[in-house]
Homo-oligomer: A and B are copies of this chain.
Amino acid sequence: MSPSIKDVAERAGVSVGTVSNVLNHPERVADGTRAAVQSAITALGFVRNSSAAQLRAGTSRSIGLIVLDMANPFFHDVARGVEQVADELGYAVVLCNSDDQLPRENRYLQVLEEQRVRGVLITPIEVSSERLDALRRRGTPTVLVDRHDPRVNCCSVAVDDVGGGELSGAHLVELGHEKIVYLSGPLALRQCADRLTGLRRAVAAAGLDPDEAIEVVEERAMNARTAHAAASALFAAGSTATSVFCANDLMALGVLRAALRTGRRVPEDLAIVGYDDIEFAADATIPLTSIRQPTQQIGRAAAQLLVEECDNPETHAHQQVMFKPELVTRESTAARKPPRECVDEF
């Protein structure tokens, strides 16, 4: 097996305690001794056994992060934010991908708990599940990411989806649209429902009747293909809508494609607003207007809250942080101007 601290001690002619001190409190060891130990370490290729260290120490310096889907740029950016903060504060992040499946989420929670992580950041499949509650009951700090727990017994970080819908609605109304399609994912998802609420609010605020001005199309999947089909169906049915607000950018891209395919001009004949402002949104055939969420900041804030709770368990007070999304206007809703990024093409 790999050499232990004992082998190192032997080779350096010191006690194991001293080797441990070199590793953890170098300042307590005299220069000469330290050098001797160091060279023994490199000579033997010693690597600390973290199981033993953690067992003895009784506590780890790591936190778990369970996301729904690492392929989703949203969660990817959140993870990046979390890692940044964790790094700064000397914590390690254990990254887990539940893939939206409860059994996977449960398995990861089990693993994290067995590893005695200090805390868990999670976008749970359901805000309250058997295992998750058990984890909290046993005293492991938990922070909800992109979710809120109505029963407010833990910290959470989310984005104001009502506000996002409102931004989009206000923008479209301001451009003169009086007939807006809301191409949504499952309205059972809070995010989708909230955005509709915001949209209606904005429309109402402009003096229009939401029930007349807004047509809701609910789809099960939130990808380009579904959206393309939905938009095609709308066109075929002779929809009079002049604008579409989509639940995410992929759907918006699907709508964009359907529109261009059928000879519609964007934004003149149809204005399109997406959501998430994924990287590619700016590089679409017609750059997409979208709602941007401060994803990295979400991750940073969540990590900070968690570490705060880990470090001061008694004085800690749970917080619900809510970020505001931001409207990014691009060509897909702009009044037609010379394309900004291509002016010097010819």
Contact = CB atoms under 8 A, between A and B. Distances in A.
Given A283-B253, A346-B262, A115 B55 contact: no
Interface string A78-117: 0100010000000010111100000000000011011110
Contacts of A339: 261
A123 to B, nearest CB: 16
B257 A283 contact: yes
A36 interface: no
A76 B134 CA distance: 31
Contact of A261 (B45, B55, B232, B345): B345
A54 interface: yes
B97 A95 contact: yes
Interface string A300-323: 000000000000000000000000
Interface in A241-262: 250, 253-254, 256-258, 260-262
B55 A49 contact: yes
Contacts of A260: 285
B262 A345 contact: yes
A118 interface: no
Interface in A44-65: 45, 47-52, 54-55, 58, 60
Contacts of A224: 280, 283
A79 B69 CA distance: 12
Contacts of A94: 94
Nearest to A233: B345
A303 to B, nearest CB: 15
Nearest to A60: B51
A112 to B, nearest CB: 10
Contacts of A71: 73, 76
Interface of A: 1-2, 45, 47-52, 54-55, 58, 60, 70-71, 73, 76, 79, 83, 92, 94-97, 110-111, 113-116, 134, 137-139, 223-225, 228, 232, 235-236, 250, 253-254, 256-258, 260-262, 279-280, 282-285, 339, 341-342, 345-346
List the 9 closest pairs (A to B, CB-CB), nearest first. A224-B283, A50-B114, A51-B55, A51-B54, A51-B51, A232-B345, A285-B285, A71-B76, A47-B113
5 contacts: A45-B137, A51-B54, A95-B96, A257-B285, A285-B285
